[in-house]
Structure formats: C-alpha cells, structure tokens
C-alpha cells in the first residue's frame, strides 16, 4: 500500500482490513518520506492490534511506481495485492481475487467498468477521462481487461521481476503499464468488479491533469502498437468472476 500523508485514511483502512481479511496475510505500507503522517499510525497499530503490519521506507525515488517495487521487494507472500489507502471498495473483493488466482490466473485487475463495478467520488474530469480511456483501449487494443489503468492489481510474486516497468512516477501509470506488459507476456489474466469510492474519508488527491494525461497517453499508444504488432490483439485469455463466487458474495 503506497502512501503519501494518508494518516487519516490509513487509520480507518487498517481497521477495515483487520476486520475483513481472514486469510493469512501481511500489510506492507510504503512511504517516501520519514516525516509522512502515516508513520505514527503504522507504529501505533503495529504495537496494539496489527502485528502483521510493517512500514517500509521507499528509497528508490518518489512515486507510486517506486513504492510498489519497494513493497514487492519487502513482501513475503506468494500473492501480492497493490491497494490504495483511500479506497475501501477493493478490500471487499480480496476473496474473489484470491479465488481467481487459485484457478490459475497470474494477474487479477479490479474493474470499475464491468460486471457491476462502479466508480464514485474524485474529480469529474478524472472519472470522465478514466472511463473513456479504458473503454477505448479495451475496444481498440483487444485488451483482456476492461479497466487496465486501475491501480488495484493482484499478481504472483514470481512474475513481477520478469516484467520491466518503466513508467514515470506519475499517478498510477505503472499499473496501466503492468496490465499491458502482462498481456504481451502471455500471462493468464482475470478481473473482479469493485465499487470504488475515491477519497471516501477525505484527504488531498495528487491528481494533476497535464502530467497524468501525457504519461497515460504514452502508454495508451505504446500498448496499441505493441499489442497489434505482436499478435496479442484480441488475446482471449481473460477470466471473469466465476458464477459461484458472485453468488457467494450476493448471499
């Protein structure tokens, strides 16, 4: 979980994680700066109620991409879930993601745009661009995923170091890159719907329109070109949520 002064959100998110995740797990919180206000929350909960919680100082350089790499290096689990501190929706999908991993998927993406998923909150322009870009990319590139840009991804630890991630530390562009390169590598992909409520508890977003549009557009075009030229266009490897899992969640 990459954080940047998410103390308020983190306190609530960790309580929800502790109450809902029943499988053996650890939580690795990655921060860029030693004065991040998330650190006192980590230390307090680690001592009092969440012993399998760790804080990691990202020394690779600022940004989500480097935080994810630092977190994966520090993690001990077989499955890695990247999750944001300000969105409770993905927490409710963890069981479904683990189930699909157990059925042979290498990478699972959450989706806000299919199978009943929804996106709420955040800036209107951000929501609009995300929906349009993902829909266009899905149809133009033949992506196996309906929501390639979302940062919520679960993957096998063994595949991560075989995918060279090069996105600039701008927003969650690295998650878009990871989705594209996973399909190019011929990995087995799946997706699980979530209801994403951006910044449900408040806090300040890092969204910056200009740099985000430039970086995401670069990977959009790169993905189109490489999926077409490699013959991975319309690659039929996507695994959707099994009916038995959907029915369990609805009961």
More confident residue, 103 or 250: 103
Could you tell me which of 54, 64, 49, 119 has the C-alpha nearest to residue 90?
Answer: 119
pLDDT score of 248 = 38
**Spatial contact of 1 and 71, defined as CB atoms under 8 Å apart:** yes
* Percent of the chain with pLDDT strictly greater than 70: 86
Here the CATH number for the domain that contains residue 193 is 3.90.550.10
Q: How confident is the model at residue 247 (pLDDT cuts 50, 70, 90)?
A: very low
- Are 172 and 112 in contact, with CB atoms under 8 Å apart? no
pLDDT the model gives residue 246: 41
Q: Name the percent of the chain lying above pLDDT 90.
A: 56
Q: 242: buried, middle or exposed (CB in 10 Å: 19+, 13-18, 0-12)?
A: middle
Q: Are 56 and 70 in contact (CB under 8 A)?
A: yes
Domain that holds residue 178: 2-250
Give the CA distances from residue 30 to residues 75, 90, 95, 219, in Å, rounded to whole numbers and listed in that order: 11, 18, 23, 25
Neighbours of 131 (CB within 10 A): 14
Confidence band of 126 (pLDDT split at 50, 70, 90):
confident
The Cα 223–Cα 177 span in angstroms is 8
pLDDT digits (tens, 9 = 90+) for 54-99: 999 999 988 898 999 999 999 999 999 999 988 887 888 999 999 9
Number of domains in the chain: 1
If pLDDT is split at 50, 70 and 90, which confidence band does 204 have?
A: low
What rounded mean pLDDT belongs to the chain?
A: 86
């Amino acid at each position: 979980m990459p954080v940047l002064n998410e103390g308020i959100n983190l306190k609530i998110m960790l309580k929800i994680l502790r109450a809902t995740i029943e499988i053996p797990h650890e939580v690795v919180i990655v921060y860029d700066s030693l004065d991040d206000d998330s650190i006192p929350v980590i230390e307090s909960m680690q001592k009092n109620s969440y012993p399998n919680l760790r804080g990691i100082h990202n020394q690779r350089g600022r940004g989500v991409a480097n935080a994810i790499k630092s977190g994966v290096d520090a993690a001990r689990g077989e499955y890695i879930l990247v999750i944001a501190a300000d969105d409770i929706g993905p927490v409710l999908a963890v069981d479904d993601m683990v189930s699909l991993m157990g059925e042979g998927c290498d990478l699972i993406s959450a989706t806000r745009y299919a199978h009943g998923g929804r996106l709420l909150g955040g800036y209107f322009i951000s929501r609009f661009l995300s929906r349009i870009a993902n829909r266009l990319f899905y149809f133009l590139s033949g992506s196996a995923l309906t929501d390639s840009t979302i940062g919520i991804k679960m993957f096998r630890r063994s595949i991560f170091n075989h995918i060279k991630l090069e996105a600039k530390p701008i927003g969650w562009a690295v998650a878009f890159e990871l989705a594209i390169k996973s399909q190019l590598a011929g990995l087995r992909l799946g997706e699980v719907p979530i209801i994403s409520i951006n910044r449900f508890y408040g806090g300040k977003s890092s969204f910056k329109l200009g740099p985000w549009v430039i970086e995401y557009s670069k990977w959009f075009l790169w993905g189109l070109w490489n999926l077409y030229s490699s013959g991975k266009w319309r690659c039929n490897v996507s695994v959707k949520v099994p009916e038995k899992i959907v029915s369990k969640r609805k009961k």
